[in-house]
Amino acid sequence: MLTASMSYSQKETMILISTDYGDITCKLYDKTPGHRDNFIKLINDGWFNGSTFHRVIENFMIQGGGKEGGTVDVGYTIPAEFYPDYFHKKGALAAARQGDHINPQKRSSGSQFYIVQGKKYTDSELTNLEARKNCEWTPEQKEIYKTLGGVPFLDFDYTVFGEVVDGLDVVDKIAAVQTGQRDKPVKDVKMTIKIIK
């Protein structure tokens, strides 16, 4: 919940995710301070360096967030931070989480994240999703889902805390890699993440 006492930086934090397929530049949203500050801390700690995008599903998303050496998660969760302005358009940076049956508060994983690739949706598909999810997207958001694409069925269930500002082509390249069991790339897609000063 936003309060008057919360302060936000004047300039959104920019991060650089470097991979063998190229670089992805993202900005972290200031209106999701819990997720932003946690992600910055993990980057500064070097948590992601040498880790992999371990779950890749074309036309859906690429997921990472473990630690080099196989540690899957940091062992804590973060309260959800949902904002209607932040939605699962292509390039959205969002937090993974455990399912509703064991996580009804929709708390985010402390380190697992994904970047949306998604697909383009039609008006009728979006109308059906609105009815099913009991939600409503703005005309502008619908236009983005129809032209750029995304995964609207995840909206209001997973926290979006940033977005790609450069490197969507790299997301596409990673999403297209060959995968095996549990959607894991056959050849590791390693990353390093740093904050751009």
Q: Mean of the pLDDT values across residues 40-54?
A: 97
Residue that is written with structure tokens 């889902």 in the block: 145
Pair 107, 97: CB distance under 8 Å: yes
Question: Apex CA 21: angle with CA 20 and CA 24, to 5°?
Answer: 105
- Looking at beta carbons, which pairs linking 8-12 to residues 24 or more positions away fall under 8 Å? 8/33
pLDDT digits (tens, 9 = 90+) for 167-184: 999 999 999 999 999 999
- Return the pLDDT at 34: 98
pLDDT digits (tens, 9 = 90+) for 9-33: 457 999 999 999 999 999 999 999 9
pLDDT grade for 7, boundaries at 50, 70 and 90:
very low
pTM of the model: 0.93
pLDDT digits (tens, 9 = 90+) for 102-115: 999 999 999 999 99
CA distances for 15 relative to 34, 104, 184, angstroms: 16, 30, 24
| CB burial of residue 171 (10 Å; 0-12, 13-18, 19+) | buried
Three-state SS for the chain is: CCCCCCCCCCCCEEEEEEECCEEEEEEECCCCHHHHHHHHHHHHCCCCCCEEEEEEECCCEEEECCCCCCCCCCCCEECCCCCCCCCCECCEEEECCCCCCCCCCCCEECCCEEEECCECCCHHHHHHHHHHHCCCCCHHHHHHHHHCCECHHHCCCCCEEEEEEECHHHHHHHHCCCECHHHCECCCCEEEEEEEC
pLDDT digits (tens, 9 = 90+) for 80-135: 999 999 999 999 999 999 999 999 999 999 999 999 999 999 999 999 999 999 99
pLDDT at 47 over 50: yes
pLDDT digits (tens, 9 = 90+) for 34-44: 999 999 999 99
- Return the pLDDT at 10: 54
Polymer length in residues for the chain: 197
Other C-beta atoms within 10 Å of 49: how many?
A: 15
pLDDT at 151 over 60: yes
Pair 59, 119: CB distance under 8 Å: yes
